[in-house]
Amino acid sequence: MTSQTRPRTQRVLSSAYMHWAKTQSAAPFNLATSGVRHYTLERLGVSLSDLELSGASFYGYPPLQQAIAAKCGVSIDSVVAANGTSMANFLALAALVAPGDEILVEQPTYELIISAALYLGAEVKRFARPAASQFRLDASEVERAITPRTRLVVVTNLHNPSNAYADDETLGQIGDIAARAGARVLVDEVYLDAAFARAPRTAYHLGEHFITTSSLTKVYGLSGLRCGWILAAPALAERMWRLNDLFGVSQPHAAERLSCLAFERLPEIAADSRALLERNRALANNFLATRKDLESFPITDGMISFPRLLTGDVDALCALLREKYETSLVPGSFFEMPAHFRLSIGGETEMLSGGLQRLGAALDEIKGTRK
């Protein structure tokens, strides 16, 4: 067993990536953000009479529970409200994984999934989503890595960091493999709605052993509302609500009220994000097509890309961008792939355009300094 395939078990008490994101990622040309630019309070058209400070929302605020259930096409007893997809993932993992349980997580993945699982005492095994196949989710990789001890398989869809889309057929195959091993499948769908043209459906519909998480944060630019949720079979959802009692009483009620308003306007907010991302994808794809020093593939869904720097050092590139060009990217080392970087295209088009010019200049500069 190599160090790559050996399960990780050490307890972790922090996330290096989240600390970096909170302290280092901001920049005038921010290509490290993980969502579309913020939707404003003004555009939500809120009046004070829409808000209240406290309300009866112990196991979710019923109108918000209803709005989430209607959006996802599920019954209300399958919906567990959570503070963003972050807490949704944590709560789902905490309800599904006991210390010592083996879980199987895609590689690369969103770092917080690994940190949270290790914090909970899970034994984390990995299966590959190889760069060579454009990070496609491949059920045979899960089949190869799953064992009778596996309790949970975890994937992101769209994939963070690569943006790759997994269809229902592939997820269904993974569900079958997991079910045969007595395991469940957790799908983090925080980016899924950004595959606008596919009109995607949550994987929760694929069967009782699927659990999904999402939020209004990334695709709708509503990160500040912290409106997240888990979809789980009702008995499991009830278990998650009861576990959530350990973490607090309820969500801030004003945010719940604002989230209800956001759901009323969701088609309009989605159309706005879609128009922004279509413009930005065209810009980013033109840029990526001209760069012979990067290996990448066109961005067709979502808002991120995970190019590989063909020669040179990504950390040096990121440092140069930060120090000289006021531009930030996420170093691939946070995704266990240090030759890559994550480029986010969800910002305002003008900012993205400036950031890409700067990225081009920095890439030219490091090429010039190479012997």
Ligand X SMILES: Cc1ncc(COP(=O)(O)O)c(C=O)c1O
Find the binder of ligand X among 150, 157, 202, 223 (CB under 6 A).
223
Tell me the CA distances in angstroms from 347 to 35, 110, 225, 309, 333, one per residue in order: 8, 20, 18, 22, 23
Q: Which is nearer to ligand X, 57 or 214 (CB)?
A: 214
For 48-73, the DSSP string reads GGG--S--S-TT--HHHHHHHHHHHT
Pattern 151-170, ligand X, x by CB under 6 A? -----x---x----------
Which residue among 27, 190, 222, 236 contacts ligand X (CB under 6 A)? 190
Nearest residue to ligand X on Cβ basis:
84
Interface residue with ligand X among 60, 200, 221, 228 (CB under 6 A) is 228
Residues 278-307 binding ligand X (CB under 6 A) are: none
Q: Of 15, 25, 30, 34, which one interacts with ligand X (CB under 6 A)? A: 34
Instruction: Tell me: does residue 346 bind ligand X (CB under 6 A).
Output: no
237: phi then psi, degrees, rounded to nearest 5: -60, -40
To ligand X, the closest distance from the beta carbon of 342 in angstroms equals 10
- Edge to edge, the sheet with strand 102-107 lists 79-83, 227-231, 210-215, 184-188, 150-156, 102-107, 123-128
Binding residues for ligand X restricted to 202-221, rule: CB under 6 A: 215, 217
Q: Do the beta carbons of residue 211 and residue 234 sit within 8 Å?
A: no
Contact 262, 227 (CB under 8 A): yes
> Residue 99: is the preceding peptide bond cis (ω within 30°)?
no
User: For ligand X, which is the closer residue by CB, 234 or 252?
Assistant: 252
Which of 102, 106, 188, 256 is in the footprint of ligand X by CB under 6 A? 188
Residue (65 or 109) nearer to ligand X, CB? 109
Nearer to ligand X, 188 or 301 (CB): 188
DSSP, collapsed to helix, strand or coil, labels residue 102 as strand
Q: Which of positions 65-124 make contact with ligand X (CB under 6 A)? A: 84-86, 89, 110
273 binds ligand X (CB under 6 A): no
Q: Compare residues 212 and 362 and give the one whose CB is closer to ligand X.
A: 212
Q: Which of 66, 67, 40, 58 is nearest to 253 (CA)?
A: 58
| Choice between 35 and 362, CB closer to ligand X | 35
Which C-beta is closer to ligand X: that of 181 or that of 192? 192
Tell whether the torsion through CA atoms of 162, 176, 82 and 73 is positive or negative: positive
Query: What minimum distance in Å lies between the beta carbon of 188 and ligand X?
Result: 5
Beta carbon nearer to ligand X, 78 or 215: 215
Nearest approach, Cβ of 156 to ligand X (angstroms)? 5
- Shortest approach of ligand X to residue 17 CB, angstroms? 9
* Nearer of residues 219 and 236 to ligand X, judged by Cβ: 219
- Kindly state the smallest distance separating residue 309's Cβ from ligand X, in Å: 21
By residue count, the chain amounts to: 371
Contact (CB, 8 A) for 10 and 322:
no
**Positive/negative CA dihedral, 141, 106, 213, 114:** positive
Instruction: Report residue 313 as tokens.
Output: 């050092």
Given a contact cutoff of 8 angstroms between Cβ atoms, the answer to whether 358 and 327 are in contact is: yes
| Smallest separation, CB 287 to ligand X (Å) | 22
Query: How far are the Cα atoms of 51, 308, 313, 363 from residue 319, in angstroms, in the given order?
Result: 44, 16, 10, 12
Q: Which residue number, 102 or 188, has a Cβ lying nearer to ligand X? A: 188
Task: Report how many residues bind ligand X under the rule CB under 6 A.
Answer: 14
> What's 202's DSSP letter?
-
Rg of the Cα atoms in the chain = 20
Which chain residues interact with ligand X by CB under 6 A?
A: 34, 84-86, 89, 110, 156, 160, 188, 190, 215, 217, 223, 228
